[in-house]
Homo-oligomer: A and B are copies of this chain.
Amino acid sequence: MAKKTKEKPIILITNDDGVSAPGIRSLVEAVKDLGKVVVVAPDKPQSGMGHAITIGYPLRLYAAKVMDDVESWSCSGTPVDCVKLAVDKILRRKPDICLSGINHGPNHSINVIYSGTMSAAIEASIESIPSVGFSLLDYSMEANFEGAQKYARQIVQKLLGRKSDKHLCLNVNIPAVDASLINGIKVCRQAYAKYEEDFDERKDPNGRKYFWLTGAFVNFDKGRDTDVWALANNYVSVVPVQFDLTNYVLKEKLKNTFV
C-alpha cells in the first residue's frame, strides 16, 4: 500500500488569488484523485504580480487548509516564490506537474505577462516541471467553476498519461459559459491584444494627486488561431508558453547593426 501511494504523481498546486480563493479549491477538487496533491499558495491576493520574486525580505510558510486530506501551505511571497519554496522546502523534489489557478479572471493574450497565475506556471517550466495555468473568464468570487473543472481535469489527465516536454507550459483559459455550451479545446497562439491605459486622476483629502490604473482591453489581432478568437467562440484556449524571450527574427535582422 505504502509503495502504491509513492507511485502516485505529485501534483503541486498554486495560484495568485491566494490560498483562500474559491478557484484554487475548485482546481484541487477537480484533480484530487489523479495524484498526491500538495498546495502552496500566497497568503494574500497577488494578481498582477507578474514574475516578481521576493528579494531583500525573507519568506514565511504557514499551515493552511484548502480541503480535508490535502497538504496545504500558505506563503508570504509571490506566486513564483511559492513554486520555488515548494520544490526546495516542502516537496524536497520536483513534482510531476505544477498547476496554477483556477484564476478568477482571464489570462489570455498579453495578460500572460502580468499574470501571477501564469508566472507561477512559467517558473515551474524553467525548473523543468511541466505546468499548466488555468483561468476562468469571470472575475467574480462566486463564479461557476464547473466547466473549468471539467476541462482542467481532462487536460491534466491527458498530460499525466504521456511523456511531456520537461519545459512544457500551457496557458489555459476557459470561457465563462455553462459547461454544456463549450465547444471543446483549441491549441492557439497568444493574440496581440492589450490594455489601452487611462489613469484615473483623483485628489486625496489633503489635496494631493493620486492615480488609479484603469483601461480598456483592445484586440488588435484578427487571427482565427488566437486565444482571444477561441474564447470568443466558446472554446477553451490552450497556448503553449515559453521562457526563451529571444526574438530570433530580430536577432537575424540586427546581426550587423552594431558592428
A residues in contact (CB < 8 Å) with B = 45, 47-56, 58-61, 80-81, 84-85, 87-89, 110, 112-114, 119, 122, 126, 154-155, 158, 165, 168-169, 171, 184-185, 187-190, 192, 194, 197-199, 201-202, 208-213, 238-248, 250-251, 253-255, 257-259
Contact = CB atoms under 8 A, between A and B. Distances in A.
Contact of A244 (B47, B58, B189, B198): B189
Contacts of A194: 126
24 contacts: A50-B51, A51-B51, A53-B213, A58-B212, A59-B199, A60-B211, A61-B209, A61-B211, A85-B199, A88-B198, A89-B211, A112-B245, A113-B245, A126-B194, A158-B257, A187-B257, A190-B246, A239-B246, A239-B251, A240-B251, A240-B254, A241-B245, A242-B245, A245-B245
Contacts of A55: 47-48, 213
A86 B158 CA distance: 46
Nearest to A204: B58
Which interface residue of A122, A197, A244, A245 has the most chain B CB atoms within 10 A?
A: A245
A45 B52 contact: no
A190 B85 CA distance: 25
Copies of this chain present in the complex amount to 2
A194 B257 CA distance: 29
Contacts of A241: 245-247
B211 A59 contact: yes
A62 to B, nearest CB: 10
Given A238-B258, A258-B185, A48 B54 contact: yes
Contacts of A112: 245
A87 B194 CA distance: 15
Contacts of A258: 154-155, 158, 184-185, 187, 238
B50 A197 contact: no
Given A59-B211, A239-B251, 4 more contacts: A47-B55, A154-B258, A187-B251, A189-B246
Given A189-B251, A251-B240, A254-B238, A53 B114 contact: yes
A222 B112 CA distance: 29
Contacts of A60: 208-211
A80 B50 contact: yes
A247 B243 CA distance: 9
B113 A243 contact: yes
B250 A240 contact: yes
B155 A126 contact: no
A50 B242 contact: no
